[in-house]
Chain A
Amino acid sequence: MRQLIRRMNHENWHIKQEFFLLNDEGHGKALYIVSTPKRSYSLVCFSHYLEPNRRTDRVIADAWDATFSLFDGKPCHSDINRLESQTPLQEAGRFHASELVMSRANKSLRLFDYVMNSLASGTQPKADVINEIGYLMRTTAVYANGKFGMADRTNYANRSELMQPYQAEMLTVYMIRKFSLDLVEHVAQRKNCRKFVPLDRRLKRHIGIGNATGLGMAPFLVSHPVLIHNWFHARETALASIRSLEAPTPNQANIFQKQIKQAALHISEWNIEDKAYMANITALENDVRFLIERTSKQTKFFEQPRPWDTLYKMAVDNVCIEAQELLVSLILEPYPEYTDKLAHTLHVDREIPFDPSMSVVEFCSLIDHHYSWALAVNFNDLRQSKYFWYYSTEKIEPRRGMRREEIGADKEMQIAVARDIQSMREKLQSAKNQEIMAVFLLRHPEFRHIVKRVLIRAQHEYSEIQDNMIGEKCRPIDILRCKLAFFGATKFDPKSDLWTRVTMFQGAPLDDELSRDDKDNWGFPIKPVSKCYKYL
């Protein structure tokens, strides 16, 4: 998300509301044009009446408060008419290569109505209430890359503005945020145009866009090992470079000290219903306080040699994993030159050629070296194979079922890496040591996808999620959170082990603020009028 905002700033993108044809209730259509230096994109929006009992985050929903298409260029009337008939159908519609992204969103009724009624009565909504929810609308799916007939990513992957992964999707989500802000003001004004006041800019900026994410993301990460390697490798490369630095400049140390205090305040404003995750947040807050104290100006922490390395090691020894991960992000903050130059390594531009010419004995040593975590799982224990993953007839989305209680295990998705590694390792025991893997696979083609994985892993150290995807203890929510964290999502709000809500673009510059100098200072959004935090 921040990568997109930085680009919008550097390249002086402009966003124009082309039309906003909505009735008093906010139903109708709207069009926004995003002008970049080389081309334009358009968000085509359709806002609908939705029966309250049909409002659900679930992917199986078939109606939403609003539906969207990101169009490549400026749509003509016939394009808009076509999209008006297809976009509201979402997965049931058919799209053209002129459409890059399709999405939908539902209102957070509680916040939407509250903000709308406040504005209509001439008062500003309370920051606390806005902060509690964080968004007026929540997307429940964002589709791209050729789904339902839309443009393949290869059609636009060579465009600088969309080259990095998920930039088209992020642009769509950012634009939906703008639509939601325009929508609430529109409805409030129509409700009472005499008393109506526009939403305070600082409050507006603190309203992000929600997202509900479910299981589908988990199999995606398993089946894209090179992509996830690239993401983690970029992060670890930047971290390693910074840890090796002898000393930060005073300005860099200041940035860190300021950001960690803002992060602490951000965490203190992060409240969720889930008790277990709330306990994690509390522990995180305490640990961040510990890190603030250890790195405050009075301690002269940054005057010692290689302070970033010392800080990192101190965190590993003293704070929870959540705080360690947060610290890594904070250490990267003062060094955009280290992270930005890695941006081009995030995407995957080609398949890794498959070469099964390795001998069985060499291949076994690779497995033993890289997959000890998989070989350690005891599959005689039925709990380790409690689940299976499958595509559901409803919306053709991945789901997880209980192997011994539900139908469909015979149609299982092939993402049980640990189990398949073990099975293959056992079969390899009876193969000749010097036989090449290509010949082994003639007899056992069922393991060919696993051989590919092992060979990818041999060259990509962050390519495997080292967990048993079918085991009782596997928590898909952690996998979802991993991917969403790379997007820059905040305020994780898990609803079970299977799905979460998050907030995106909270604190991000509004479209008319994109040229501001502080365009990048929103990583840890805090309430506009916040209590005085003792560490600030």
Chain B
Amino acid sequence: MLQVSLSEIETSICKAVSATSLPVSFGEDAGRAARCMAESGIGSLVAFVEALDALNNGQSTGFNTQCAAMGKFIPKLDARHLSALYAGPSACDLLVSTHDVGPEYAAITLENVDKPLIILFESLVTSIDRTFGLHLSWKTQHSIQAICWRGALTIVEGSSQNLCTSGPAKMSILRITKPPTNMEPAWSPQRTKKLTYVEEEVWHRLISYTNRLLVDSTEKSRLTGAGAGITDTD
């Protein structure tokens, strides 16, 4: 196992998502979600790496924008899963948008989501510093209901282990105005883990994505870079 910092997790996921041609801000959101997940000690980075693999090999795809505008996220290509990395940020954007025109986005559905866990943690990050919460539910082998309220995660149905069960799954997300009562959060930001360990094989798979953003040096770049040609004899 490799000890990694939360910052490394966040930046590596961000770069890896950007490297799969997703918008940079989707990478940023995924990075924050992965960091939050690592802080919580719930779940595993494997979910993110598998989501990257699914996008990379075409198993997962983006969403139909017309349906999404109606609050229904479905894969834009038939027989594909809906990429959580792709759909999560946009679904959260709709949920947090309070407005007095157009359709009301108090409820969102997402069909055939490849990694519900990613959307859960993106929702959890989204819920920080809001006056409302998000209620998520989905079913794979187990039924899951969870509430994200000001950065704290409460599992209403299922267990922490169940959360990690892979998709695909149909998810619903509701905006709620009252916090969960009489239930202890499964995790809240005050209980942040200080040390994070990742399996080396998983980390290397992740880094193989981030490396796609790197540009090899050329003779020209070496000659024109900062400090090129200087050997310090001063």
A positions within 8 Å CB-CB of B:
52-53, 55-59, 94, 96-97, 106, 108-110, 133, 138, 145-155, 212, 214-215, 350-351, 353-357, 359, 390-394, 396, 399, 401-402, 405-408, 411, 414, 434-439, 441-443, 445-449, 452, 495-496, 498-499
Residues on B with C-beta less than 8 A from A109 are 232-234
B215–A407 CB distance below 8 A: yes
Distance from B50 Cβ to chain A, minimum over Cβ atoms (Å): 22
Measured between beta carbons, the chain A residues less than 8 angstroms from B96 are 353-357, 438
Chain B residues whose C-beta falls within 8 Å of the C-beta of A438 in the assembled complex: 90, 93-94, 96-97, 105
Residue numbers in B under 8 Å from A53 (CB-CB): 231
B174 within 8 A of partner (CB): no
B181: CB under 8 A from chain A?
no
Q: How far is the CA of A354 from the CA of B25 in the complex (A)?
A: 11
Interchain CB contact (< 8 A) of A445 among B2, B23, B32, B213 = B23
- Contact between chains at B99 and A399 (CB < 8 Å): no
A442-B23 in contact (CB<8A): no
Jot down 30 A-B pairs with beta carbons below 8 A, ordered by A. A55-B232, A55-B233, A56-B231, A58-B226, A58-B227, A109-B234, A133-B234, A146-B7, A146-B8, A147-B7, A212-B227, A351-B129, A353-B129, A354-B93, A355-B97, A355-B98, A359-B99, A359-B101, A390-B215, A391-B215, A399-B225, A401-B221, A434-B101, A439-B102, A442-B65, A442-B90, A445-B22, A445-B23, A445-B90, A449-B25
- Complex-state Cα separation, A393 to B230, whole angstroms: 20
**Contact assessment for B214 and A442 in the assembled complex, using a CB-CB cutoff below 8 Å:** no
Given A58-B226, A147-B8, A214-B226: A353 and B130 interface contact (C-beta under 8 Å): yes
Say which residue of A57, A151, A406 sits within 8 Å of B232 (CB atoms): A57
Chain A residues with CB below 8 A from B90, complex form:
438, 441-442, 445
CA distance A330 to B227 in the complex (A): 33
Q: Beyond the given A392-B216, A392-B221, please list 18 additional residue pairs across the A-B interface where CB-CB is below 8 A.
A: A52-B231, A56-B230, A59-B226, A109-B232, A155-B194, A351-B32, A353-B96, A356-B93, A359-B101, A393-B216, A394-B217, A401-B215, A406-B221, A443-B65, A445-B25, A449-B24, A498-B225, A498-B226
What is the minimal beta-carbon distance from B82 to any residue of chain A, in angstroms? Answer: 14
Chain A residues closer than 8 Å to B25, beta-carbon distance: 445, 448-449, 452
Closest to B97 in A: A357
A-B pairs under 8 A by CB, number:
183
Check B176 for interface membership: any CB of A closer than 8 A: no
Q: Judging by beta carbons under 8 Å apart, are A411 and B215 in contact?
A: yes
Verify B99–A357 contact, CB threshold 8 A: yes
Is B220 at the interface (CB under 8 A from chain A)? yes
Which chain B residues border A441 with CB–CB below 8 Å?
90, 93
Q: A402 CA to B6 CA in the complex, in Å?
A: 34
Q: Which residues of A contact B101 (CB under 8 A)?
A: 359, 434, 436
Closest to A111 in B: B234
**Is the C-beta of B44 less than 8 angstroms from some C-beta in chain A?**
no
Q: How long is the Cα–Cα vector from A153 to B221 in the complex, in angstroms?
A: 33
The reply on B4 being an interface residue by CB < 8 A is yes
Number of interface residues of B (CB under 8 A): 57
Whether the Cβ atoms of B227 and A97 lie closer than 8 Å is no
Among B3, B26, B218, contact of A96 (Cβ-Cβ < 8 Å): B3
Known A393-B214, A436-B102, A442-B68; judge A499-B226 contact (CB<8 A): yes
B101 to chain A, nearest CB (A): 5
How long is the Cα–Cα vector from A90 to B217 in the complex, in angstroms? 20
A106-B213 contact, Cβ under 8 Å, with A436-B99, A498-B226: no
B114: CB under 8 A from chain A? no
- Bound together, the chains give a CA A49 to CA B216 distance in angstroms of 30
Query: Which residues of chain B have C-beta atoms less than 8 A from A408's C-beta?
Result: 215-216
User: Which residues 108-149 in B have Cβ within 8 Å of A in the complex?
Assistant: 126, 128-130
Report yes or no: B221 in contact with A435, Cβ–Cβ below 8 A. Answer: no
Chain B: CB-nearest residue to A393: B214
- Is A146 a contact partner of B5 (Cβ separation < 8 A)? yes
Please, which residues of chain A bring their CB within 8 A of the CB of B68?
A: 442
Q: Is the CB of A97 within 8 A of B230?
A: no
**Chain A, residue nearest B129 (CB):** A353
Contact flags (1/0) for B50-90 with A, using CB distance below 8 Å? 00000000000001010011000000000000000000011
CB of A56 within 8 A of CB of B227, answer yes
Query: Which residue of chain B has its CB nearest to the CB of A452?
Result: B25
CA distance A401 to B105 in the complex (A): 43
A351 touches B26 (CB 8 A): no
Going nearest first, the 5 A-B pairs with the smallest beta carbon separation are A146-B7, A146-B5, A408-B215, A357-B97, A498-B226
Q: How far is the CB of B66 from chain A (nearest CB, A)?
A: 9
Q: How many Å lie between the Cα of A437 and that of B98 in the bound state?
A: 11
Q: Is B208 an interface residue (CB 8 A)?
A: no
Given A407-B215, A436-B99, A438-B93, A351 and B128 contact (CB-CB distance below 8 Å): yes
CA distance A437 to B231 in the complex (A): 52
The CA-CA distance from A109 to B192 in the complex, in Å, is 46
Contacts of A396 on B, CB cut-off 8 Å?
Answer: 214
Q: Is the CB of A57 within 8 A of B217?
A: no
Cβ of B7: which chain A residues have Cβ within 8 Å of it?
A: 145-147, 152-153
Provide the residues of chain A in CB contact with B228, threshold 8 Å.
58
Residues of chain B within 8 A of A406, CB atoms compared: 218, 220-221
B137-166 vs A, CB cutoff 8 Å, 1 = contact: the mask equals: 000000000000000000000000000000
Q: Among A350, A394, A405, point to the contact of B128 (Cβ < 8 A).
A: A350
Residue contact B226 to A411, C-beta cutoff 8 Å: no
B102 CB, min distance to chain A CBs, angstroms: 6
Q: Which of B24, B69, B215, B216 neighbours the largest number of chain A CB atoms within 10 Å of its CB?
A: B215
